[in-house]
Amino acid sequence: QVQLVESGGGLVQAGGSLRLSCTASTSIFSINNMAWYRQAPGKQRELVADISPGGRPNYADSVKGRFTISRDNAKNTVYLQMSSLKTEDTAVYYCNRQAGWWWQWGQGTQVTVSS
C-alpha cells in the first residue's frame, strides 16, 4: 500500500551532478526521518545522508560538502542533490523511510559516475 518511488539516477561524468528524488505514498511522511543509502558491488550498504522531519540533515564524511539532502513534506518527497561526483560514488542508491521500528526501502536507483 505504501510505496517509495525513486527517480533521477543515471550515468554522469566525474565532476557532474545529479538529483535523486524519492516520493512516499503516505500522509505520515512528515513525521518520519528519511535517508539515502547506497551499495556498491561487493560492498555493504552504507548511509549517505539522512534528514529529520524538521529538515535537519546529517551526512557521511565521504559526501560532506558535495551532497545536499532536503525534503518537501507537502509533496511527501525527499531529495539528494549530488555535485562534484566522483567515480567512488558509483552505487545503487536507496531511499529509506524510518517509521519508528519499521524501515521502508525504495527499489533503488543506479548512479554511475564515469571518468
- What does the DSSP 8-state code read for residue 32? S
Query: For the CA atoms of the chain, what is the radius of gyration?
Result: 13
Q: pLDDT averaged over the chain?
A: 95
CB-facing half-sphere around the CA of 33: CA atoms within 13 A: 14
* Cβ-based neighbours of 42, under 8 Å, separated by 6 or more: none
The model's pLDDT over 24-47, given as tens digits with 9 standing for 90+, comes to 987 778 899 999 999 999 999 999
Task: Look at residue 4 and tell me whether its pLDDT is greater than 80.
Answer: yes
Share of the chain above pLDDT 70, in %: 99
Q: What is the per-residue pLDDT for 66? A: 98
Say whether 31 sits in a helix, a strand or coil: helix
Q: Is 12 helix (H, G, I), strand (E, B) or coil?
A: strand
The pLDDT tens digits for 63-77 are 999 999 999 999 999
* Residue 106: pLDDT over 70: yes
pLDDT of residue 33: 95
**Cα(51)–Cα(30) distance, rounded to whole angstroms?**
11
Q: What is the pLDDT of residue 1?
A: 67
